[in-house]
Amino acid sequence: MADNRIALVTGANRGLGRSTALALAARGVHVVVTHRGDADGAEETARQVQSAGGAAAVLRLDIGDVSSFTAFVAELSGLLERRGDVSRLDIVVNNAGVGVFGPLEAVTLDDFDTVFDTNVRGTFFLIQSLLPILAQGASIINVSSSLSRHTSPATSVYSASKAAVEALSRTLAAELGLRGIRVNSIAPGPTATDFNGGAMRDDAEMRQSLAQQTALGRVGEPEEIGDAIATLASEDLRWVTAQRLEVSGGAFL
């Protein structure tokens, strides 16, 4: 069924971003796919969306480069207007992020800055930059991690950045509520993607170990996260804001 809403999905050239773009498109949402440099991957996502009967466009966006956001929003606005005289964005999925993992003594200042500049600073200022084109009643979904709830060795900086994303989400939900804009975070658990070099997808021993610590007895698949994000963005959950939805199959209970 045609929806005609428009979604921006950052980091949609692969993994959870691609799955999210496809899940939204399956619900009739038009998708703007962004990538930091993997144009081929982003175009492949767009092709898959279009092959399924959806509409997609591709733009380059480096979440870690806040100075580029003004030009990006101008480009996005022009794209929306050209593709149907629409200048309002209905859904924003802040999926793009980076993970640098290591024990306390191994983490460098550059490591710390890279993670927080992208996962926290970039997310915050992209939302700020998009405010002028956000529709009344828009939905913003910030991708966090189940690691904001449980602990795992060598994940301190990444986990802290995702906890910050959740705090931002709650506060921005209060700030933007009078415009009807919902802000939520979604926290994927162990999922078989190419994140962190595809370790969880490709390492059978790691998958088995994590499966044993998950209530549903397995790691997640990217499509399951994409479906959850698309559902959270839908009108079915229009009364849900300032919430953290964990999609982890009951990991580390």
pLDDT tens profile 98-112: 999 999 999 999 999
Where would I find the beta strands (DSSP E) of 43-96? Answer: 56-60, 89-94
97 close to 195: Cβ distance less than 8 angstroms: no
Between residues 27 and 208, the one the model is more confident about: 27
User: For residue range 121-143, what is the model confidence (pLDDT) as tens digits?
Assistant: 999 999 999 999 999 999 999 99
* Cβ neighbours, 10 Å, residue 153: 8
Distance, in Å, from the CA atom of 251 to the CA atom of 249, rounded to the nearest integer, reads: 6
Residue 97 binned pLDDT confidence (cut-offs 50, 70, 90): very high
- Cα 228 to Cα 194: distance, rounded to the nearest angstrom: 19
For residue 142, the cross-strand partners are: 94, 185
The rounded percent of the chain whose pLDDT value lies above 90 is 86
Q: Is 54 helix (H, G, I), strand (E, B) or coil?
A: coil
- Measured CA angle at 113 (ends 110, 118), to 5 deg: 130
Q: Is residue 62 scored above 90 in pLDDT? A: yes
Look up tokens 């009643």; give the residue. 137
Q: Which CATH architecture has domain 6-247?
A: 3-Layer(aba) Sandwich (3.40)
**What distances in angstroms separate CA 134 from CA 123, 142, 177, 191, one per listed residue?**
15, 15, 13, 30
SS3 71: helix
Residues 3-21 have a mean pLDDT of 95
Quote the mean pLDDT of the chain.
Answer: 93
Q: What is the mean pLDDT of residues 69-85?
A: 89
What is the pLDDT at residue 1?
44
65 is catalytic: no
90 pLDDT more than 90: yes
Average pLDDT over residues 13-29: 97
Percent helix, strand and coil across the chain, each rounded to 5? 50, 20, 30
How far is residue 82's CA from residue 205's CA, in Å, rounded to a whole number? 49
pLDDT of residue 198: 56
How confident is the model at residue 4, as a pLDDT? 83
The active-site residue, picked from 69, 72, 116, 158, is 158
The pLDDT tens digits of the residues spanning 145-204 come to 999 999 999 999 999 999 999 999 999 999 999 999 999 999 999 998 775 555 566 677
pTM of this structure: 0.95
Query: In this predicted structure, what is the pLDDT of residue 86?
Result: 65
Q: Nearest-CA neighbor of 26 among 42, 3, 9, 10?
A: 3
